[in-house]
Structure 1
């Protein structure tokens, strides 16, 4: 019996020998299972969840000072931000109806008060004694479609310190529409080869291919087709008789975001291969081609036109303003000024308005009270909560750690 048992054990051992004839047994049999106590994570503060932490006890003695402290901090910040916005001087004149309401005989007429707004931190009677005026002059008949030159006359009651910025402002224009925002071809703007069919079948549809000639539209898409084409000249300082005295020079350079120019390249297309967008054909202004076609050497170059680049950066809201000119070094002194506008852009088709905005800037930006008012609103909320909790503690105080409010001590709250 002893020999039989030994033979069975030897057979079992031999059956575990590897197929290569070696004497090593399988790895799973050689490895012994570790004891359960040795399988726990490393004994570190992170692995064992012993990191130091602060567990505040929210009592009236800690919450009330925190609320009043935060309220005071936000009130001070909000007041500073609000005061900074008040220091920004701003003049807005809407000229949408200049063609219809301004006199065309060379005389001047007051602009209705609903069309202009003065926002100067120092009030002056001259803002009301000398309201803005306007006049309009039609383009010569030989220049093509009927367009107008609108001249605005306005008075600055106080000096506008540098920098001074001239914006144009549009209302009810939805550049944030999804179909509109996508209607451009970035490869075409970078002078990458694109056929008319590729443009028409991609994001530029239906303004990728000219239906008459079958040529590519350059630049294609709805954004480029609707580019703002009114023009503004630098304001002219006038004397008491409205005669020109000096020009306040403003630059049309450096009006785009940094890095914006990298999205555009000088085109190498031939004039026989591309056509302007439909709204550019036969139009006046910097984006107008009266013949409806490009000429050799005169194809539109987006890399050299910052106004086009500003327009292609779509706005987030239907009422927006875009920078047109600026002067960063010379203050704009108080006095009477005239501003000549090439009135080319129609706004009646979308029920909107257009205006010029002459403004300065502070260390926090333009004349916007939103940031300051939001800080003041948070401060008011903190003070309101602090006063409410203080009144609650005074009227019906509650001792810290009172066990009477526990559910097992209050049978009415037991579930």
Structure 2
């Protein structure tokens, strides 16, 4: 009900009577909410009276902005590119190592199988990598396993942190179905039945079709885990005999707090089975006879598993395997032994081992510098085009002649 304005009454009295009438109407239980009670609060936010700033984009404001952004990103890109150039790195592709003749002495690797960058390359202390392979005895019925030995040179001292990575190509961890294939409740040791796993995100690797038991850990990510192993590099003497180890740690290779996503399992070994690839694999994730009591895989204590479960955003990626933050890798010839267990032929990819240093901007990542320099170049180009347009065909800001109703030739009618 609206209050009528009564003659002879002040505005204050009218407002008071209106408020009283609203309160009276609210007290009446007529089954309807008073229209006046539905009014929004009289605030700047509710009544859309907030102060706002609307920039006027003119040539005098846009041109300096584009030039400023160009200078800023040019400086950032130049510093980033110059910094990562100081990061020493050696990349060795050992995909075809198992194709070598077993038991033969080391032979020189093809030039397209390795790549290196050292800021102060000592050519007299550098020689092309060599490799050899031998087969490893495995239980009957298991696939043949190989041990690849790589000999490589370090021409400069590598200090202030030495990191060992593995790299895969053409492996699409960013596929939507793949990256969703994990059960976080299972990783937190919460009760999960085989039906829950099979009907959830882990399908089709939630339940074993032969035994009907739940798979632990379930899903495509865990099933395809990288299981090659890398020993510590060994310094060789002139007779190519190991004389010392460069000790590297497999701890602290995950992001801070990553372990909180996992808890040690308390499942009975008789109620769960390993993923299918783990049953037929060798290496640290090989369980050819399934789980035994007291020997169930523990994701909380395995940092390599945690590194793999954080999926990569691109089909070519590297993941940290070992690190040494204190010692210096001296100049010399080294030997690296790799347990070659992981098949890459099934997806047409390659695998490499990377020995690298890092800088304050991270590893040797040239893409970041290139991206920043590209943004600087784009902004500078736009600034030049805008300046040329204003010089050739100038336009006065706020010219009302460009309005459609003031310019009949551009009117819609």
Determine the structure 2 residue equivalent to 1:215.
Answer: 213
Cα separation, 2, equivalents of 1:367 and 1:247:
25
Determine the structure 1 residue equivalent to 2:87.
Answer: 88
**Post-superposition offset of 1:195:** 2.2
Cα separation, 2, equivalents of 1:174 and 1:240:
43
Could you list the per-position Cα deviations for residues 187-242 of structure 1 after superposition, in whole angstroms to 9, with x for gaps in the alignment?
22222222223222322222222222332222222221111111111111112221
* Alignment partner of 1:200 is 2:182: no
Which deviates more from structure 2 when the two are superposed, residues 403-412 or residues 168-177? 403-412
SS in 1 for 2:217: coil
**Post-superposition offset of 1:302:** 1.2
* Alignment partner of 1:307 is 2:307: no
In structure 2, the CA distance between the partners of 1:385 and 1:198, relative to structure 1 (3 Å rule), is closer
- Unaligned segments of structure 1, at least 5 residues: 1-25, 32-38
Which deviates more from structure 2 when the two are superposed, residues 199-208 or residues 71-80? 199-208
Q: Determine if contact 1:231/1:285 at 8 Å carries over to the other structure.
A: yes
Residue-pair matches, total: 378
Which deviates more from structure 2 when the two are superposed, residues 249-258 or residues 363-372? 363-372
TM-score (structure 1 length as normaliser): 0.81
Could you list the per-position Cα deviations for residues 318-369 of structure 1 after superposition, in whole angstroms to 9, with x for gaps in the alignment?
2111111111111222221111000011111111111111111111112112
* Alignment partner of 1:248 is 2:246: yes
Select the residue among 118, 121, 142 that pairs with 2:116: 118
Determine the structure 1 residue equivalent to 2:271.
Answer: 273
Cα separation, 1, equivalents of 2:153 and 2:182:
41
Cα separation, 2, equivalents of 1:343 and 1:43:
69
TM-score (structure 2 length as normaliser): 0.81
**Post-superposition offset of 1:130:** 1.0
Determine the structure 2 residue equivalent to 1:229.
Answer: 227
Cα separation, 1, equivalents of 2:23 and 2:208:
79
* Alignment partner of 1:360 is 2:330: no
Cα separation, 1, equivalents of 2:406 and 2:129:
77
**Post-superposition offset of 1:250:** 0.6
Q: Determine if contact 1:162/1:332 at 8 Å carries over to the other structure.
A: no
SS in 2 for 1:69: helix
Q: Determine if contact 1:126/1:155 at 8 Å carries over to the other structure.
A: no
Select the residue among 173, 179, 183 that pairs with 1:185: 183
Cα separation, 2, equivalents of 1:378 and 1:206:
44
Determine the structure 2 residue equivalent to 1:155.
Answer: 153
* Alignment partner of 1:286 is 2:269: no
CA RMSD of aligned residues (A): 3.2
Cα separation, 1, equivalents of 2:181 and 2:52:
55
- Unaligned segments of structure 2, at least 5 residues: 1-18, 25-38
Cα separation, 1, equivalents of 2:23 and 2:291:
85
**Post-superposition offset of 1:398:** 5.9
